[in-house]
Amino acid sequence: MVKKILMICLGNICRSPIAEAVMQDTIEKAGVAKDWEVDSAGIGDWHAGNSPDYRALNIMKNHGLKYSNHARQIRNIDFEQFDYIFGMDDENMDDLNRLAPKGSKAKLLMLGNFGLDKKDRIIKDPYYLKGEAAFEKAYQQCVVACDAFFKEVQAGKI
Looking at residue 146, its amino acid is C
Q: Judge whether 125 counts as a catalytic residue.
A: yes
CB 44 within 8 A of CB 75: no
Answer for which of 5, 6, 7, 14 binds ligand 4NP (CB under 6 A) is 14
Rounded distance, CA 56 to CA 59, Å? 5
14 annotated active-site: no
Which of 7, 9, 21, 116 is the binder for ligand 4NP (CB under 6 A)? 9
Give me the half-sphere count of Cα atoms (radius 13 Å) on the Cβ side of residue 142: 31
Q: Which is nearer to ligand 4NP, 10 or 142 (CB)?
A: 10
Q: Is 26 in the site for ligand 4NP (CB under 6 A)?
A: no
**Residue 55 binding ligand 4NP, by CB under 6 A:** no
What does the binding site for ligand 4NP look like in residue numbers (CB under 6 A)? 9-15, 46, 125, 127
